[in-house]
Chains A and B, each alone.
Chain A
């Protein structure tokens, strides 16, 4: 599935909810269902700075696709992480770099996009794109 298709899927899913509470309950569910990250990968260098809660992001390149795994100690943040992993994992570095993130606004989580927001959604996206740049360079050389 392309990034665009996954994003549209998410927009449809979130459109079903009538209020913020259902939306957050769903995010909490997504957070709980996020595959566990290897404890050995939860190291200081995998931590994303700028989050009030801790977020660990790990990536690897397999068959030209970037695979992301992640975790957080706060469940709502983990839900956001789960959404990002679903959108960006198993995509080529080019596709990740070309993707826009306006879907976050469309699913009604715009408040989490503000750079001053302590959950660091912006920092997470930035780190995912930086990883993609690194793999892109690796593939070219």
Chain B
């Protein structure tokens, strides 16, 4: 069913505001999504009505807060098709989840082992693996990318061997919007006995992954990309892996018994949730998932596909405009440049016209090096964007081109 975009827009207070004298056109959704009133209300409601520390108090408020927080965990479990709620670990976000896994794998890896990452990664996703390799003597292998912004799968398959212990790939590239063939990547890695971690930060606002069907070992994402608040995210790990991995941080919540001689760790998921968590964040993450599911991912996908096709077609009318990332399978992200114009200049002018896009290397320097460009202008669309907003983007980019040449 087609979604009622005007009704949806009314749910987002920020979409009603003006920027530089123009109604805001927010096309930086790949950086962070806007928040609907129900998510904002969930945070306010927690602090106004049942703020208490969770999991340890016997008093009613604490139990109420614990119930709502754990209900959010269950919502995440159901949404992602996860078998057990204790396989859902609340994190501070995607980067935190990745570091947790990288740190845990320190104790499994040795010299001669290999980790495979893709050339489409965000900076933050390359560094933890480089650090892990430094600590353990393992080596880092990179799946190369092709001109259209997709991964070279045959190169990936030839990189795999019994030396491979971990494969790390993003579900969707943040800089280009390419959807990676993670089903094949996971299956091929498992054939050589390697574990797979998928970064879903860019995926989960556009599609609803079924983690059980994917048979992935680990999957991480952030709430703020999917209409939830910043500072909270999710790490999924197969139970067998989470039991094997050592705890990441020491502190309260993650212990069972403590003495100066020995501490025993708490059961899952608490083993990985040291200290008081981001309670309001977790609860609001749950509210965001409810909100998205009420709209429905089929409707979201259909609407965004329409926007992507329309925007691609309209932008390509501008002479000299080149789009990077032209694979068949991509989400509603358009990374582009105009010949002879720096992306920063375009971003500055369109901002003056009330349009928020991202310019720069999008924390994916290797991709920019591949195309030999300083960066791109990136317009990323969400289900609350409209064709009229695409028109305003195209008009603003044309205006910028006229001013800058």
**A residues whose Cβ falls under 8 Å from a Cβ of B:** 20-21, 24-25, 28, 52-54, 73-77, 118-119
Q: Is the CB of A77 within 8 A of B344?
A: yes
Count of chain B residues near A, Cβ 8 A: 14
In the complex, the answer to whether A28 meets B403 with C-beta atoms within 8 Å is yes
Residues of A within 8 A of B404 (CB): 28, 75-76
Q: A10: shortest Cβ distance to chain B, in Å?
A: 19
Closest 9 CB pairs of A and B: A74-B342, A74-B344, A53-B344, A76-B345, A52-B344, A74-B345, A52-B360, A76-B348, A75-B345
Within the complex, the shortest CB–CB distance from B176 to chain A, in Å, comes to 19
Some 11 contacts from A to B, beta carbons below 8 A apart, are: A24-B348, A24-B349, A24-B352, A52-B360, A54-B374, A73-B374, A77-B342, A77-B345, A118-B344, A118-B359, A119-B348
Closest partner residue, chain A, to B21 (CB atom): A20
CB contact under 8 A between A21 and B344, given known A52-B359, A52-B375, A118-B360: no
A53 to B359, CA, bound (A): 10
Which of chain A's residues have a CB closer than 8 A to the CB of B352?
Answer: 20-21, 24
Given A21-B403, A25-B403, residue A75 in contact with residue B342 (CB < 8 A): yes
Q: Which residues of A contact B341 (CB under 8 A)?
A: 75
Contact A119 B344 (CB under 8 A): yes
The residue in B341, B342, B348, B352 that gathers the most chain A C-beta atoms within 10 A of its C-beta is B348
Q: How far is the CA of A76 from the CA of B359 in the complex (A)?
A: 14
Q: How far is the CA of A52 from the CA of B20 in the complex (A)?
A: 22
Shortest CB distance A5–B (Å): 29
Q: How far is the CA of A54 from the CA of B404 in the complex (A)?
A: 17
Task: List residues of chain A with CB within 8 A of the CB of B345.
Answer: 53, 74-77
Known: A54-B374, A73-B374, A77-B344. A24 touches B403 (CB 8 A): yes
* Residues of chain B whose beta carbon lies under 8 Å from any beta carbon of chain A: 20, 341-342, 344-345, 348-349, 352, 359-360, 374-375, 403-404
Q: How far is A25 from B345 in the complex, measured between Cα atoms in Å?
A: 12
Q: Most chain-B CB neighbours within 10 Å: which of A53, A118, A119?
A: A53
Question: B403 contacts which chain A residues (CB < 8 A)?
Answer: 21, 24-25, 28
Closest to A23 in B: B352
Q: How far is the CA of A54 from the CA of B373 in the complex (A)?
A: 12
Task: Please name all residues of chain B whose beta carbon is closer than 8 Å to the beta carbon of A77 when the two chains form the complex.
Answer: 342, 344-345
User: Taking the nearest CB of chain A, how far is it from the CB of B13, in angstroms?
Assistant: 24
Q: Using Cβ atoms and an 8 Å threshold, which residues of chain B touch A75?
A: 341-342, 345, 404
Within 8 Å CB of A118, what residues of B? 344, 359-360
A119 → chain B, closest Cβ, in Å? 7
CB–CB B349/A73 < 8 A: no
Q: CA separation between A53 and B341, bound complex, in Å? A: 11
The smallest C-beta distance from B277 to any residue of chain A, in angstroms, reads 29
Report chain B residues within 8 Å CB of A28: 403-404
Given known pairs A24-B403, A28-B403, A73-B342, the reply for A53 and B349 (CB within 8 Å) is no
Closest residue of A by beta carbon distance from B341: A75
Q: Which residues of A contact B360 (CB under 8 A)?
A: 52, 118
Select from chain A the residue with minimum beta-carbon distance to B402: A25
Distance of B77 from chain A, by nearest CB (Å): 38
Least CB distance from B98 to A in Å reads 25
Residues of B within 8 A of A25 (CB): 403
Minimum Cβ distance to chain A for residue B192 (Å): 41
What is the CA–CA distance of A52 and B374 in the complex, to the nearest angstrom?
Answer: 9
Question: Which residues from chain B contact A74 at a C-beta distance below 8 Å?
Answer: 342, 344-345
A20 and B354 CA atoms in complex are apart in Å by 13
A54 to B343 CA separation, bound complex (whole angstroms):
12
Measured between beta carbons, the chain A residues less than 8 angstroms from B20 are 20
In Å, the complex CA distance between A105 and B354 comes to: 21
7 further contact pairs, Cβ within 8 A, besides A24-B403, A73-B374, A118-B359: A52-B375, A53-B342, A54-B374, A76-B345, A76-B404, A77-B344, A119-B348
- Least Cβ distance of A115 to chain B in Å? 17
Residue ID in chain A nearest B349 by CB atoms: A24
A74 to chain B, nearest CB (A): 4
CA–CA, A77 to B345, complex, Å?
A: 8
Q: How far is the CA of A52 from the CA of B342 in the complex (A)?
A: 10
CB-CB < 8 A to A76: which residues of B?
Answer: 344-345, 348-349, 404
Name the residue of chain A whose CB is nearest to the CB of B359.
Answer: A52
* Bound form: Cα–Cα A21–B400 in Å: 10
**Complex Cα distance A76/B374, Å?**
15
User: In whole Å, how far is A41's beta carbon from the nearest beta carbon of chain B?
Assistant: 19
Chain B contacts for A119, CB-based, 8 A: 344, 348
Q: Which of A25, A54, A73, A76 has the most CB of B within 10 A?
A: A76
Residues of chain B within 8 A of A53, CB atoms compared: 342, 344-345, 374
